[in-house]
Structure 1
Amino acid sequence: MGRLYFFGDLILVAAAISALALTAYFGFPNPVPVGLGSSVAVAAIVLAVLVFARSLSIRIASVVGFLLLSFCFFITVANWWHYQYFQVFFNYEFLPFARDSGDVLKALPAFSYKKEAAYTGITYLFLFVFYAGWFKWRELSPFRARIGAISLLLAGLGLLYWVDSVIADLRKANAFTLSPYYLHPVHAFMIPLDSKSADTLSDWSYFKKRNRVLAEQEYFPVGLDSKPYNILVITMESFRASFLGAYGQRKGLTPNFDRISQRGFLFRNFYANTNYTVKGENAIICGIFDHNAKISIAEYPGEKNLECMASALKAKGYETLYMHANYGRFYNRKYFMPQQGFRHLYFHADKPGVNRASDDNIGWGLADAEFFKLALDKVSQMEVPFYAHLLSISNHYPFDYDWPVDVPNSLEGVRDEERVYLAYENAIFYSDYALGVFWKEFESSQLFENTIVVITADHGVWSFAANEGLDETYKDEEFFRMPLFIYHPEFEGYREVDQVSSQVDLPVTLMNLVGAEFDAERFLGKDLFDRVEAPWAVLMKGGQISFREAGRLCLPVNTDCAGAYQSCWAGTSAADVSDFFGMSQCYEIDGDLLRGGKVMPVEGQNKFIDKAFGMVAYENRRVFENAEDSELVAPVHLSLRQLFKEVEKD
């Protein structure tokens, strides 16, 4: 009988490992040692709980077994679903995003892991049935059961300690992501995305010093003085420069932007600082680098240690307005934007009686043409001077919508790998059409004579023409290069600015244009019209950082990135992760990479990536610094209960 018990116990352990560890990586064993270690650790800890429950009673064991295994299965499959869209797992800090899951589902035509989820569920069911049946029949003393549970628990905790030691360097660099390479889905759900970075003020200061001004307003016409003009910032969703004729594209997708940009300032080497909309907005509005791998600072409750453009302009007497075609709860904008100085908010999807299935909506919200018409009406009625920030939405992944205009590409019979890119071109074409309709009305309004207009974009989408044959370096350039056009009422000419710049430079530039007062030392960005000593751009891609300056590009190697918005994770062996900052390559750039320029690898320039990670870590820490006692306070993410209470108040 003892031998039978022994073999039965082995089968139970094998079943637990099979269900919880060998299916965790999308139905298969994790191919990476650290990820497999995480999976086996989860299996050991879950089995420890099950064995301990059996030491109490068979009934308790059955209830605990059912609830615990159901929880593990649900979190595993939910994290696969999350990975399909965001290319990372989620943890408990992401729970408030559950309120937006209906919107995210629009971008998921189908769950990709149906079969894997099915046989993983069958494996979990087998584990539960065998566990319940075996321990109902098996004779086991409570003492021996608890000894076994403690042994399994210690084994699991030992493995978790090893996993944590492997990823410690990523945490220090503020570059840790919830990658399936590193973590079992349940393990990922339970751990925080905290960073343990050392004091990185020196890295922040390094980038600040590179923006030392050599010639003030060198790129701005002589004779134009700072005046309290209105400011209208239009952030176009996913509007990559690589699609625009003004930046070298010859397909004629953007005739309106190309025409509009002929009067004003066109910035040729302007980059997005991040791969997500809300983080790009925070760069444009507040001049800060938002979290790299973690959720946006906008999702955290309470006051932030920020000085944003809207607040500075509001102090100068400006009326301030933020407009978006989606819900105000999305990325917590309804609560975050007023904190940063926006007095008036408009979220179209929140308005009573809005029919999201109407012809006025495309994809994720109100169609751009209708949105811009509505925005022009609203700003025309505002007291002057005003600052308004508009965020469009029609050009949103997956782009495959019914457009109200004739678009250049038919998608009938197009293969999946080509379909997204061709649909992307169609979406760009429509957004440009909507911009043209808006500009025609704007030109004939009184605002044309007293309003500075900025047209830019939030980020790119990782989709490219099949016949381009681009390597990762060129793809990165297309992904991050954004248009930037500034219209000034007093300037009737055309001027190009080639100096490397990025979204964090916009607040300083616009506040200087209208003579607003602000603490320049708090802002890392430069004035786009100043010639500076060593202009730069730091580009974050969900765990990865690259660096751009005139004639040079540096980016990490041995990293894996995936998904439309590119979430990344570093090399997967302990040796690779410990040498994280050495995993980078710099290139010399000859010419414009959007116009046939070339890159050539060079050696020994790894300091840029190291310092960029440190700078971003310092920016993140400073946001949550208590100004009174200069001690960092841990940000607490908005819980679902808190969220519901806030909604009920409204």
Structure 2
Amino acid sequence: MKPTPNRYAVQFGFTALYLLLSTIVRVALLCWAFPVATLSFGNILSILAKGLVFDSGVAVFFTVAYSIYLLLLPQRLNKTWFNKAFTGFGFFLALLIMIFSFFAEFTFWGEYEARFDFIAVDYLLYTYEVINNINQSYPLPLLIGGVLAGTALLTWLAARAGMFRASFQSYTPLRMRLVITGGTIAIAVLHLYLVSNTWAETGKNRYQQELSKAGIYSFGSAYFNNELPYDKYYIQEDDKQAFAEMRSLLQSGNSKYLEPGSSIYRHIADTAAAVKPNVIMVTIESFSATFMERFGNKERITPVLDSIAKESILFTNMYATGTRTVRGMEALTLAVPPTPGQSIVRRKNNEGLFSLSTIFGNAGYDRTFFYGGDGYFDNMNQFFGNNGFDIYDRLRHRLVGDNFPTKRENFPDSAVHFENAWGVCDEDIYSAVLKKADEKHAAGKPFFDFVMTVSNHRPFTYPEGKVSIPSHTSREGAVQYTDYAIGQFLKQAQQKPWFKNTIIIFVADHCASVAGKNEIEVNKYHIPCIVYNVPNEVPREIPTMCSQLDIYPTLLGILNWSYNSNLYGRDVLAADYQPRAMISTYQLLGYLEPGKLMILGPQHQAQTFHVKDSTGDLQSQPMDSVLLRKAIANYQTAYTLFKNGGMRKL
């Protein structure tokens, strides 16, 4: 059946084609996720219905400018070559973007089991790392060729069906054009004001939420809503009450608040003689506890870490605060609960904050941030450089000026034996750490190093011949290489004169995957933390539930330090410590205690869950007002302190 002659035939045809293809993509993703998503028939109907609404909005946004063009185009120009070329090129370009986005959605789902979000927005800004990552992970020339070929084929089929001819050979009166274009604009405006991406997030099943969304719609929502103001979207208490609750939660027998009211600034006192060793913290990319044999893995891919865990202080019940590297960095430097939206590492006005760098700097330590890639990515250099750390990274953005007061040193080409899209391999970064430690020791300077590895990241490539699993094969191979590189690092470090007086911490920034059927998948925030070579300490396990925020308050307690603190972390070994952890997505803020979880969400939502010990599954429970007050106290005060400058150095 040929299209009815109408100037808007191409707009209508493109809309129908988009709705058809986007539905196919949604159904394909649904089939992909179905074995693990536990979706009911009602869930599936909801996914398809909401998906159609979002898809309709995307189709309208794609065509609204063209619709206005058709309204204004004089009838005498309708058959001209200009109109034919403009319409044909516009159709091809819009179709190309559409097909590319569909391809990208499949790759994004494979990595994150989610539609586009803040991560996709971030990736658009860092083209070097992302394009190289895609190129090293997938046959890029074939994929680009496939996208172009698919676009050309669909354009030819549209022309063959008479869609363009129906538009160019039509006469559409001005009154009808006003109705069609006016309707298109009205639908676009209604979508902008009435259909929020959060509408897809009303269900409790995370897969249902993500499958209901449209990738392009989600991308736009993420781009324009990078940060979620806590005071606008989340349930609150009076600030005075929130801070009173928070001060009560942080109060300990050896602490004294130094300021009244809306502050957590306090002095931690210790009467024993302080021990001041060097500290190297190795933050391992995407390292779940489940990779280690100690936590049930049967593949024996972490023999080094499993071995040193028996010789160390091992936190067996620690949770990451979030799902991205910058969120882990935030927790491990600032010891602050994750506020909604972007990590503080990526926000404006994040310089000069009170952090672990402040504490170690006050004690006379040199501080260096080591990163295998270019620290321009994710704003790392700006954050660390403006918070007391020297920078040692792989310089790529040579035209971007460093705007921080500390030093930046580059990996020389001679020191790089292997690198991929994200940076140098772990062995190379450890060589740099060893070199700088030698220099600082020779100069008589104690040092605190923050080391961020990259090898355990897609495309999972690393030097050949190091481990039994070939490079570019699987996540397990990258984990095995990560463990191997740690073994080589420790062998060399143990020969150094500074080793006996150096603590080495191995901790994950976040887990490898946090997707699941629950809104927050508790078990997928469980990370290992190994504190190795602590002076005068016997190996032991700490089974108490805790957070990344608690690592340094606990370590400084072991070392008998007295110091001022603006940290939300607590000494886990203190007699008055109350087990808890903060876990989050970009929008959902979780406050976890043994067996129970409070989730705060946008639109002033709060819900209590029982957490099954064996599976981590969540069961909805009546509101726990005590747990709610604790959750609000942590998240509201953290947001307020950052917003009002209360996290600045004191």
Determine if the TM-score, normalized by the shorter chain, exceeds 0.5. Answer: yes
Counterpart in the other structure of 2:436 = 378
Q: Which residues in structure 2 correspond to 1:94-109 (within 5 Å)?
A: 94=122, 95-106=124-135, 108-109=137-138
1:478 Cα shift? Answer: 5.2
Amino acid at match of 2:48: V
Secondary structure, counterpart of 1:146 in structure 2: helix
What are structure 2's unaligned runs of at least 5 residues? Answer: 31-46, 256-269, 398-409
Distance in 2 (CA, whole Å) between partners of 1:183 and 1:237 is 29
Secondary structure, counterpart of 1:484 in structure 2: strand
**TM-score, normalised via structure 1 length:** 0.73
Is 1:185 aligned to residue 205 of structure 2?
no
Equivalent residue for 2:622, pick from 604, 607, 613: 604
Distance in 2 (CA, whole Å) between partners of 1:180 and 1:599 is 20
User: What is the number of equivalent residue pairs in this alignment?
Assistant: 572
Counterpart in the other structure of 1:587 = 611
Counterpart in the other structure of 1:450 = 501
Secondary structure, counterpart of 2:498 in structure 1: helix
Secondary structure, counterpart of 1:233 in structure 2: strand
1:283 Cα shift? Answer: 0.9
Question: Judging changes above 3 Å, is the alpha-carbon distance between structure 1 residues 61 and 511 closer, same or farther for their aligned structure 2 residues?
Answer: farther
Is 1:80 aligned to residue 78 of structure 2?
no
Secondary structure, counterpart of 2:66 in structure 1: helix
Distance in 2 (CA, whole Å) between partners of 1:457 and 1:123 is 46
**TM-score, normalised via structure 2 length:** 0.73
1:501 Cα shift? Answer: 1.0
Counterpart in the other structure of 1:242 = 290
Equivalent residue for 2:535, pick from 486, 490, 510: 490
Secondary structure, counterpart of 1:268 in structure 2: strand
Counterpart in the other structure of 1:416 = none
CA-to-aligned-CA distance 1:324-354 (integer Å, 9 cap, x gap):
1112222222222212221343337784763
Question: Judging changes above 3 Å, is the alpha-carbon distance between structure 1 residues 223 and 8 closer, same or farther for their aligned structure 2 residues?
Answer: same
Equivalent residue for 1:393, pick from 454, 458, 475: 454
Question: Judging changes above 3 Å, is the alpha-carbon distance between structure 1 residues 62 and 626 closer, same or farther for their aligned structure 2 residues?
Answer: farther
Equivalent residue for 1:432, pick from 470, 483, 498: 483
Question: Percent identity of the aligned residues?
Answer: 17
CA-to-aligned-CA distance 1:347-367 (integer Å, 9 cap, x gap):
3778476389x7534774323
Equivalent residue for 2:169, pick from 134, 137, 144: 137
Question: Judging changes above 3 Å, is the alpha-carbon distance between structure 1 residues 587 and 290 closer, same or farther for their aligned structure 2 residues?
Answer: closer
1:272 Cα shift? Answer: 1.3
8 Å CA contact 2:455, 2:461 repeated in 1: no
Counterpart in the other structure of 1:16 = 14
Question: Judging changes above 3 Å, is the alpha-carbon distance between structure 1 residues 113 and 531 closer, same or farther for their aligned structure 2 residues?
Answer: farther
Secondary structure, counterpart of 1:213 in structure 2: coil
Amino acid at match of 1:181: S
8 Å CA contact 1:40, 1:156 repeated in 2: no
CA-to-aligned-CA distance 1:260-308 (integer Å, 9 cap, x gap):
334442212111111222211111111134465x444433455457322
Amino acid at match of 2:116: F
Of 243-252 and 366-375, more deviation after overlay is shown by: 243-252
Counterpart in the other structure of 1:633 = none
Distance in 2 (CA, whole Å) between partners of 1:369 and 1:349 is 20
1:53 Cα shift? Answer: 0.8
1:181 Cα shift? Answer: 2.2
1:146 Cα shift? Answer: 3.2
Equivalent residue for 2:510, pick from 443, 459, 464: 459
8 Å CA contact 1:22, 1:39 repeated in 2: no
Distance in 2 (CA, whole Å) between partners of 1:205 and 1:62 is 68
Question: Judging changes above 3 Å, is the alpha-carbon distance between structure 1 residues 75 and 532 closer, same or farther for their aligned structure 2 residues?
Answer: farther
Is 1:256 aligned to residue 289 of structure 2?
no
Question: Judging changes above 3 Å, is the alpha-carbon distance between structure 1 residues 237 and 177 closer, same or farther for their aligned structure 2 residues?
Answer: farther
Amino acid at match of 1:156: A
Secondary structure, counterpart of 2:435 in structure 1: helix
Is 1:501 aligned to residue 576 of structure 2?
no
Q: Which residues in structure 2 correspond to 1:160-559 (within 5 Å)?
A: 160-164=192-196, 167=199, 179=210, 181-183=212-214, 185=216, 188-189=219-220, 192-193=224-225, 194-195=227-228, 196-198=232-234, 200=236, 209-213=248-252, 225-247=273-295, 249=297, 252-290=300-338, 294-304=341-351, 306-347=353-394, 351=410, 354=413, 359-361=417-419, 364-382=422-440, 383=443, 384-399=445-460, 403-407=464-468, 423-462=474-513, 476=521, 479-487=524-532, 489-510=534-555, 513=559, 515=561, 517-520=563-566, 523-541=567-585, 543-544=587-588, 546-550=590-594, 552-554=595-597
1:214 Cα shift? Answer: 6.5
Question: Judging changes above 3 Å, is the alpha-carbon distance between structure 1 residues 480 and 160 closer, same or farther for their aligned structure 2 residues?
Answer: same
Distance in 1 (CA, whole Å) between partners of 2:529 and 2:554 is 12
Of 324-333 and 75-84, more deviation after overlay is shown by: 75-84
Counterpart in the other structure of 1:563 = none
Amino acid at match of 1:277: T
Distance in 1 (CA, whole Å) between partners of 2:638 and 2:271 is 39
Question: Judging changes above 3 Å, is the alpha-carbon distance between structure 1 residues 363 and 329 closer, same or farther for their aligned structure 2 residues?
Answer: closer
Question: Judging changes above 3 Å, is the alpha-carbon distance between structure 1 residues 429 and 100 closer, same or farther for their aligned structure 2 residues?
Answer: closer
Counterpart in the other structure of 2:116 = 89
Distance in 2 (CA, whole Å) between partners of 1:107 and 1:615 is 45
Distance in 1 (CA, whole Å) between partners of 2:295 and 2:645 is 43
Equivalent residue for 2:181, pick from 130, 145, 149: 149
Question: Judging changes above 3 Å, is the alpha-carbon distance between structure 1 residues 556 and 622 closer, same or farther for their aligned structure 2 residues?
Answer: closer
Amino acid at match of 1:375: V
Distance in 2 (CA, whole Å) between partners of 1:118 and 1:209 is 64
1:322 Cα shift? Answer: 0.6
Distance in 1 (CA, whole Å) between partners of 2:620 and 2:198 is 29
Distance in 2 (CA, whole Å) between partners of 1:616 and 1:11 is 56
8 Å CA contact 1:324, 1:348 repeated in 2: no
8 Å CA contact 2:101, 2:215 repeated in 1: no
Distance in 2 (CA, whole Å) between partners of 1:154 and 1:385 is 65
8 Å CA contact 1:19, 1:120 repeated in 2: no
1:500 Cα shift? Answer: 0.9
Secondary structure, counterpart of 1:452 in structure 2: strand
Amino acid at match of 1:22: L
Amino acid at match of 2:390: R
Distance in 2 (CA, whole Å) between partners of 1:487 and 1:549 is 27
Question: Judging changes above 3 Å, is the alpha-carbon distance between structure 1 residues 529 and 327 closer, same or farther for their aligned structure 2 residues?
Answer: same
Distance in 2 (CA, whole Å) between partners of 1:176 and 1:208 is 38
Amino acid at match of 1:313: F
Of 330-339 and 191-200, more deviation after overlay is shown by: 191-200
State the superposition RMSD in angstroms: 4.7
Question: Judging changes above 3 Å, is the alpha-carbon distance between structure 1 residues 318 and 328 closer, same or farther for their aligned structure 2 residues?
Answer: same
1:503 Cα shift? Answer: 1.0
Question: Judging changes above 3 Å, is the alpha-carbon distance between structure 1 residues 189 and 608 closer, same or farther for their aligned structure 2 residues?
Answer: farther
1:493 Cα shift? Answer: 1.4
1:23 Cα shift? Answer: 2.1
Counterpart in the other structure of 1:644 = none
8 Å CA contact 1:79, 1:185 repeated in 2: yes
Is 1:38 aligned to residue 54 of structure 2?
yes
Amino acid at match of 1:148: I
Counterpart in the other structure of 2:267 = none
Amino acid at match of 1:485: I
Is 1:49 aligned to residue 49 of structure 2?
no
Secondary structure, counterpart of 2:507 in structure 1: strand
Q: Which residues in structure 2 correspond to 1:564-575 (within 5 Å)?
A: none
1:381 Cα shift? Answer: 0.9
8 Å CA contact 1:27, 1:116 repeated in 2: no
Amino acid at match of 1:625: K
Secondary structure, counterpart of 2:21 in structure 1: coil
Of 619-628 and 223-232, more deviation after overlay is shown by: 619-628
